[in-house]
Chain A
Amino acid sequence: MTEHTDYELEAYVLGALDESEQAQVDIHLRSCEQCRNQVSELQEVMSLLPFELAAAEPPADLRQRILGTAVMDAATPASVAPVAARREPQPPSRPSRWWRVPRPLTAVMVGAAAALVLVGVLIGRTTAGPSVSALSRYQQLAGRAAASGAVIRPFAPSGRFRGRLALAIRGAGHATLLVGPIPSPRKGDVYQLWFLNTLASARSGGVFTGAPGGAHALTVARPAAGFKLAAVTEEPGPHGARRPTSSPIMIAGL
């Protein structure tokens, strides 16, 4: 019979066992309270380890990015996934819809979108992927907007969208979304800009399809006053959605 001491609980709490060993301990723990208690105690000790690191201050805007994304996520039902598990299910390739709207869009939605004046100005386009000149063009746009007295709010994208979107706000009258070279949305989808305080109050700022090889400047009339957040989601094309239906790709505090 296997003794309790034969289970390498110390390595188990570090996640340092091979898969088969880890599974073996998992099975044992289901029926052994003594080892469960020991694992719990060891986990508490090991979770102190990061205190040995010099404290690093996260960037100031990270807090707002995270809280803003949680606001966008507010309508998502609380997950029941066991987050402590070492191997969590992979997220779906497409952001989950949390607010379904019927397709095609109704005239009401189109009307609401049309109430906002959206002017797309194509600045440059190539057929290739993101290029140095396109990035440079994007930076020029941002620089020009800043020089004209606009406040620039960088969006907080993750991964491949990083540094490719910014919102320039001048007064309460209008805002300009600066779009750098970003990947095209999925077939049939568009990117949609939102202004919001809560999910229910989200107002569309228009749609765009990205500029894989170029840079766009999209000017939005009467958009930002009174809103705390701006966000971009991927929505069904061609007109977008009435409310955000997918997790934000990018988000910015206003």
Chain B
Amino acid sequence: MDVGKADSFEARAPFESDLMTAMRQRQEGALEALYDRYAKLTYSLAYRMLGEREAAEDAMQEIFLRAWRSAASYDPQRSSERTWLMSIARNSCIDRLRTSSARPRVDAAAVVEESPGDHDVWGEVSRTLTAERVRGAMGELSAEQRETIRLAYYGGLSQSEIAERMGVPLGTVKGRIRGAVQRLRALLADLETDPMS
């Protein structure tokens, strides 16, 4: 989404990171590092959205290549590397959902099996803690708010489509989304700036 160019007099962009600097410069090893840091998160998202392993694998290739090809346009004023990559991932998966017969997996609880051992122990610890916080925050929402948010985020549905799907007035969906997002913001705001984990 285009939010315009941020002011250029900032000494350092709020989301500047060495990894994204390396990506923008197409340094050797940068894509590898990005993949190693975000592959699980991205794959989990793609699998959840597309519901099939093959489709998720195809999406992964597209997502990381899009990231590689378009890193030069990443704006550290606007978003963290995680938000930037998740945006590419969601857009890619939503495009696939719209152009194929694949159905979003929006009705199931979390989806896929835990992975076997991970060599990045600290990364895994950090990820686990973040996951606990996010699951806890989602648990604070009402069941209707959770379902609404998941239909939008993982299913790529608009508010109107959600209203139709859930059989409730559009205004109800709008209220649920506004309330849920603001609640999540209040509960998770302190996690925002941690780029990975």
Contacts and interface: CB of A to CB of B under 8 A. Distances in A.
B2 A26 contact: yes
Contact of B65 (A40, A43, A69, A81): A69
A50 B159 contact: no
A107 interface: no
A8 B152 CA distance: 14
B178 to A, nearest CB: 5
Contacts of A29: 1-4
A11 B178 contact: yes
Contact of B111 (A53, A65, A162): A53
A191 to B, nearest CB: 19
Given A45-B185, A45-B192, A158-B58, A16 B91 contact: no
Interface string A77-93: 01111111111100000
Contact of B152 (A11, A57, A83): A11
Interface residues of A, number: 62
A55 interface: yes
Contact of A81 (B4, B39, B70): B70
A146 B70 CA distance: 40
A40 B3 contact: yes
A108 interface: no
B61 A16 contact: no
Interface string A2-17: 0000001011111111
Contacts of B104: none
Nearest to A14: B152
A128 interface: no
B61 A65 contact: yes
Interface in B7-37: 24, 26, 31-32, 35-36
Given A53-B111, A57-B40, A57-B115, A46 B61 contact: no
Contacts of B43: 56-58, 62
Contacts of A53: 44-45, 48, 110-112
A106 interface: no
B2 A82 contact: yes
Interface in A18-46: 18, 22, 26, 29-31, 36, 39-46
Given A16-B157, A17-B159, 16 more contacts: A11-B152, A14-B177, A30-B3, A30-B4, A36-B6, A42-B181, A50-B42, A51-B133, A53-B112, A54-B112, A56-B40, A66-B60, A69-B61, A78-B26, A81-B73, A85-B91
5 contacts: A26-B3, A48-B188, A53-B112, A56-B40, A62-B43
**10 interchain residue pairs of minimum CB distance:** A57-B115, A10-B181, A56-B112, A44-B192, A83-B70, A47-B83, A78-B72, A58-B43, A47-B86, A50-B45
